[in-house]
Amino acid sequence: MRLDKFLCDCTSGTRSKLKKDIKAGQVTVNGNTVLKPEQHIDEKADEIFYKGQRCVYEQFVYYMLHKPSGVVSATEDAHERTVIDLMGDERRDDLFPVGRLDKDTEGLLLITNDGVLAHELLSPAKHVEKEYECHLAESFDEKQKERLEQGVDIGEKSLTMPAVVHTLDDKMIALTITEGKFHQVKRMLHAVGNEVVYLKRIRMGSLMLDAELPKGSYRRLTEEELDGIFRRDK
């Protein structure tokens, strides 16, 4: 791995700033000052210090982010603030959100650089559950519940897969689906004669949104949470 890429993944600095710092003699590799950003290092074996602090490389990282309304689920966007922009000091070049939430939808997003795990969680064949808290424009009744639990026509080739529905209030439900079609939750409620006015994802597979995590904030997954998502198919 290139030295500047390694440092960019380990710190919050930009690639251009880190290149300048390397050329200024602020980086050592195995005790020797290195002045070339393009120098290749062994990220698992070499001892690398930046401004006197040792840098330890992690191949894969996993974060829970509480997405607020108004940001887009992308790595970069020319016009909108993205969920990666919220990552602060933990931001690195290879992070991405696992799946998408609409710009106006809030709640749980997994941020990682582990493409294999992302594929496992997003693959239609895996039927990973996604649970949403839905606030509705109209009162929710048993007829709407039955239709959602049977599958509804949202304009695709086939009906949606049966959902799991729990009524929380007159105009609030918890809806669990195992698909990820475009605007699916909103389209499903529209299909049964209702409209979503607020939507929040609270669970993906075994991973629950931390109720203590403020909107716009993030944290690393705990060992227990990691065990849960990696054990899912076993």
Tokens linked to 69? 């309304």
Are 186 and 135 a contacting pair, CB within 8 Å? no
Query: Which positions ≥6 away from 14 have C-beta within 8 Å?
Result: 8
Does the annotation count 102 as an active-site position?
yes
Q: Which of 102, 114, 170, 233 is an active site residue? A: 102
- CA pair distance 185, 212, nearest whole angstrom: 25
Residue/partner pairs of 25-31 with CB below 8 Å, 24 or more apart = 26/50, 26/51, 27/3, 29/3
Are 167 and 173 a contacting pair, CB within 8 Å? yes
Are 225 and 207 a contacting pair, CB within 8 Å? yes
- CA pair distance 63, 199, nearest whole angstrom: 21
Coil, strand or helix at 5: helix
Tokens linked to 95? 């992070």
196 φ/ψ angles, rounded to the nearest 5 degrees? -85, 125
Are 203 and 133 a contacting pair, CB within 8 Å? no
Are 21 and 53 a contacting pair, CB within 8 Å? no
Active site residues: 102
